């Protein structure tokens, strides 16, 4: 019988919302689909709701992977030298944690996967910048989802990505092209230090990166591979590779 105590633990940094106007404490929020995908991969999702940057040194050695999830909120523009837009939904508590968590995971050799906002967090944490409104940039597509539609339509494959030959992305896709969903208003502008672009949208936007020189799995994608991943071979193989890296880390980590 498998030893449940050996199941790899994956840290999913949560979002923070003020859902009740009369509640100054707010809420810790995580979309079920991320935790469900992690569980489906044979891993155990864990949350540290009140974690701060100062806690990373004691918490990170307890886990075997970090999955930076997507979110309705944007990375605050001050982290990359810009001014936040009046319409931005922000999450400063998450930013304060993840800007440090990205670097700590890379230094510690903990498998890291960034999804949508998570990709943008990796980029900004490594010194990169973002386009705040992609649809206003000359030559760029509108990468936002149709918000008036149900989730199945919002998360449907929306456009192709071109994958670098010989990359892990091309291996997962079994080719150099794949279809992905698209639910984001911001996107990568200047790449952070060490990021290698390996997947591009038709308009040239970088949508998939690896971290050069990382000692463990370290990738980020602009789309949402967690959505019904078992029905999407490309995304399923990608998540499977992340899970394998987490299992490898768990095998080496002391109980």
Q: Count Cα atoms within 13 angstroms, Cβ side, for 241.
A: 19
Q: For residue 248, give Cα distances in angstroms to 36, 104, 219, 245.
A: 21, 18, 16, 5
Residue 183 structure tokens = 């639910």
Determine the pLDDT at residue 60.
Answer: 98
pTM of the model: 0.95
Q: How confident is the model at residue 25 (pLDDT cuts 50, 70, 90)?
A: low
Of 188, 193, 183, 221, whose CA–CA distance to 204 is shortest?
A: 188
Q: Taking 90 as the threshold, does the pLDDT of residue 223 lie above it? A: yes
User: What's residue 2's pLDDT?
Assistant: 46
Q: Is the CA virtual torsion 23, 96, 122, 212 positive or negative?
A: negative
- Give the mean pLDDT of 99-105: 98
Residue 246 has pLDDT above 80, yes or no: yes
What is the arrangement of strands in the sheet containing 195-200, beginning at the earlier edge strand? 44-46, 9-11, 65-68, 112-115, 218-221, 206-211, 195-200, 159-163, 177-180
Compute the half-sphere exposure of residue 244: CA atoms within 13 Å on the CB side of its CA: 7
Q: Where does the pLDDT of residue 24 fall: very low under 50, low under 70, confident under 90, or very high at 90 and above?
A: low
Per-residue tokens: 105:
């995971």
Given this model, what pLDDT does residue 18 score? 83
Residue 4 pLDDT > 70: no
Give the separation between CA 171 and CA 186, rounded to whole angstroms: 27
Cα(20)–Cα(8) distance, rounded to whole angstroms?
35
Q: What is the mean pLDDT of residues 15-25?
A: 76
Residue 17 confidence (pLDDT): 87
Is residue 1 pLDDT above 80, yes or no? Answer: no
Provide mean pLDDT across the span 171-185: 97
Task: List the catalytic residues.
Answer: 116, 224, 226
Rounded to whole angstroms, the Cα distance separating 8 from 104 reads 18
Question: Predicted confidence band at 3 (pLDDT cuts at 50, 70, 90)?
Answer: low
pLDDT for the residue 23: 65
Average pLDDT over residues 151-161: 97
């Amino acid at each position: 019988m498998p030893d449940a105590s050996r199941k790899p633990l994956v840290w999913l940094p949560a979002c923070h919302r003020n859902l009740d106007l009369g509640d100054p404490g707010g809420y810790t929020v995580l979309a079920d689909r991320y935790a469900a995908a992690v569980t489906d991969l044979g891993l155990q999702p864990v949350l540290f709701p009140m974690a701060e940057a100062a806690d990373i040194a004691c918490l990170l050695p307890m886990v075997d992977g970090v999955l930076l999830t997507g979110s309705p909120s944007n990375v605050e523009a001050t982290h990359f030298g810009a001014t936040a837009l009046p319409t931005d939904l922000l999450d400063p508590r998450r930013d304060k944690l993840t800007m440090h968590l990205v670097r700590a995971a890379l230094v510690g050799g903990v498998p890291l996967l960034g999804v949508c906002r998570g990709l943008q967090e990796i980029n900004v944490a490594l010194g990169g910048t973002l386009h705040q409104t992609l649809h206003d940039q000359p030559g760029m597509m509108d990468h936002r989802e149709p918000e008036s539609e149900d989730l199945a339509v919002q998360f449907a494959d929306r456009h192709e990505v071109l994958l670098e030959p010989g990359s892990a992305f091309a291996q997962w896709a079994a080719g150099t092209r794949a279809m992905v969903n698209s639910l984001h208003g911001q996107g990568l502008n200047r790449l952070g230090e060490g990021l290698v672009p390996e997947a591009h949208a038709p308009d040239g936007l970088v949508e998939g990166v690896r971290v050069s020189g990382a000692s463990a799995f370290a990738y980020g994608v602009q789309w949402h591979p967690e959505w019904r991943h078992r029905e999407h071979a490309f995304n399923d193989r990608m998540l499977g590779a992340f899970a394998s890296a987490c299992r490898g880390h768990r095998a080496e980590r002391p109980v």
